[in-house]
Structure 1
């Protein structure tokens, strides 16, 4: 199967062995797996028979998900983790060593930044950021000990897009690992491996899970890197359980059709907001006003359901606007059927306002995650809330 819509349904499942010919992959809710005798143990270790020894090393449902994601991303292999942050931290710790350096783009998830700046120095690993507006001058930010480049695409919260072809051509020449967090894109809208990226990461809690009901992380990539990462996951214990694996497998089957709605609604909401006189600015890669619009059109098949925008008003009135909305939940996630909204400086950076200000995250900045509600209902909701400020 070559088309991604078919891969979301069948990859990792169609030819997998199962009892009783069930269409769905069953949940094997167990912590351990038994051997019939000592001979079977030896055969297992010698690779003569397939099997699993202990639940921390995986389960059949998890392996089905991993195979599906590897097919969707066009990579050699994929690994599941207990969360997106666990996927990132385990990957970095397995691929970067003492006295080595990581370069990352400055617009990214705050806890990823915290890990780079506060945790990695304890392992004698150096990390520094490159302004995304200066990404074309990456050469001047590289050090002699740089071994890994990291970026989200699109980035959080301003949805910036980097030129993958340019970056990966550069990193390959320098023999630097390229790790791309593609959570905001999904393999439906972008597949970084097709540009030569070594590692692709996801918080599967978002679009891949797609229902606001699970935590999971993904690392997909070239075999030589995945084989280095897996022992760290198995030892550090960031494993996903069988039931969550099943929920994620179920969700991936509908990823293509869900992303079609997210893309459609996201663009419609962004266009509506950009026209509104009380909106200061909108950041959405599908708008011509976005600083990376041309690049986004070139690299992406769609632009997702997340829209960042600022209002022409105070922080207090911005809170009033959010509180007046009837459709979106006030919550910090995205990618599910229900629309969500957050006032970034308060919900995410309440105790880190200085850091928020440094990143130009002001009190009037909002992030909207479009769900599956009727677009006319959404714009009607916006209209009544705008009247309150």
Structure 2
């Protein structure tokens, strides 16, 4: 299927599936088999060596998982893709694939909490140097890249402060320095942003979030050039963070409605952000769709939609206010997840940065009173009314 002429909504439904539909089925089957047999020894060897398409062992590849990987590959406009059992599984696989003792990685301060833990706790144990820069200080990031950079790791928009990074500008700086440029595209999704088109080598997702969209399956995926993805795949297959075929099926089913969900969430989030910005009980709103947001111009340039994620601070800027506010919401799960059809809320202290100390969150510019708001597909007037009644109380 030539994807350059097919719209993303159609790709979400059809891409990657045709080869694996069986005996007239209209849905991709869940293949639970751990191993795949061959009566022809020469064919078996060719498949095992990667000289011929096929599957050998479930830890390596699986037919259902392969469809999921191919669908996101086409949506991101990449040459290849490989998956892992969780978002952090693919993030850690990518970083440990390309970084060795003595190497240097450049990133930003307020990446997702688990990613930040890798940078601050695990990589230094392997004598890998880490430079974390102020997220929106592009000049400072470029200066650190010039000092030496094996991997440039970016996240845009960021979790949970929803800051926007000029991907094309920093991808060029990274490439000029010989770095491998990786972008976490979880918040934007391939519907709103395609980092590969902006010069990035690899783009990854926590598929658990918007790709699946129903909070019922864990997964991670990375896309890019065949050469680089093959290296990540090799690390992942040996270290064993394999995506389960049943999870791949749930993710595939969720992706059928990806464009529909994202379009709804884009529109609703914009209306909610505008409402919150004007509310007397709200101190500050972080959403790139707002003209008042520092990253708005960059977001307009590199995104086709501003996403369903935002965060905001209450006027009463302390954690006790958060404790009182969140239980009053009727149409929101207070939970450590995002990107689902239901609205989900929570402070970084219990969600994105629960692994970090209060001091570490402060160093990343994340206030304890921040509320992360993942807009669902509910009627936006109901969501606004719900926020209003909770804020007024």
TM-score normalised by the shorter chain: which range applies?
over 0.9
Distance 2:280 2:147 in 1: 50
Query: Are positions 1:387 and 2:357 aligned together?
Result: no
Q: Pick from 120, 127, 130: which aligns with 2:123?
A: 120
Which deviates the most, 357-366 or 258-267? 357-366
Where does 1:215-254 land on structure 2 (aligned, <5 Å)?
A: 215-254=218-257
In the alignment, what sits opposite 2:35?
32
- Tell me by how many angstroms 1:205 deviates: 0.5
Matching residue of 1:329: 333
CA 22–365 in structure 1, closer or farther in 2 if over 3 Å, else same: same
Output the TM-score relative to the length of structure 2. 0.94
Tell me, in whole angstroms, the C-alpha distance in 1 between the residues paired with 2:131 and 2:52. Answer: 46
Q: 2:82 aligned to 79, 83, 89, which one?
A: 79
- 1:124 CA drift (Å): 1.9
- Picking from 349, 363, 387, the partner of 1:345 is 349
| Alignment of 1:199 onto 2:202 | yes
Distance 1:48 1:203 in 2: 30
Q: How many Å separate the matches in 1 of 2:235 and 2:52?
A: 24
Name the CA distance, whole Å, in 1 between partners of 2:188 and 2:356: 29
Correspondences of 1:59-74 after superposition (within 5 Å): 59-74=62-77
Residue-by-residue CA offset, 1:159-187 (whole Å, 9 max, x unaligned): 11111221122112111111000000000
8 Å CA contact retained: 2:331, 2:383: yes
User: Normalising to structure 1: TM-score of the pair?
Assistant: 0.95
Among 356, 360, 366, the residue aligned to 2:361 = 356
Distance in 1 between the 2:357 and 2:262 partners? 33
Cα 1:46–1:368 change in 2 (3 A) is: closer
Q: Distance in 2 between matches of 1:46 and 1:293?
A: 48
> Which is further off, 357-366 or 184-193?
357-366
Alpha-carbon distance in structure 1 between the residues aligned to 2:156 and 2:62: 30
- Report if the CA contact (8 A) 2:206-2:219 is conserved: yes
Residues 258-278 of structure 1 deviation map (CA, whole Å, 9 limit, x = unaligned): 101111111111111001011
Q: Tell me by how many angstroms 1:142 deviates.
A: 2.7
Q: CA deviation at 1:345?
A: 3.2
Deviation at 1:116, TM superposition (A): 1.2
| Higher mean C-alpha deviation, range 270-279 or range 306-315 | 306-315
Which one of 160, 164, 168 corresponds to residue 161 of structure 1? 164
Q: Deviations over 1:96-134 (max 9, x none)?
A: 122000000112111101111111122221112011232
> Alignment RMSD, CA only?
1.7
Matched, 1:376 2:381: yes
- CA drift of 1:144 comes to 4.6
Supply the distance in 1 between the matched residues of 2:59 and 2:296 (Cα, whole angstroms). Answer: 43
Query: Secondary structure at 2:83's aligned position in 1?
Result: strand
Q: Which of residues 254, 279, 283 in structure 2 aligns to 1:280?
A: 283
Deviates more, 1:356-365 or 1:261-270: 356-365
Q: Structure 1: how far apart are the matches of 2:167 and 2:367?
A: 29
Change over 3 Å in CA distance of 1:275–1:35 after alignment to 2: same
| Contact preservation (8 Å) 2:145, 2:174 | no
What are the ranges of 5 or more consecutive residues in structure 1 without an aligned counterpart? none
**Aligned residue pairs: how many?**
387
Structure 2 unaligned regions, length at least 5? none
Rounded Cα–Cα distance in structure 2 between residues aligned with 1:44 and 1:180: 31
Larger CA deviation: 148-157 vs 359-368: 359-368
Q: Which moved more, 1:185-194 or 1:337-346?
A: 337-346
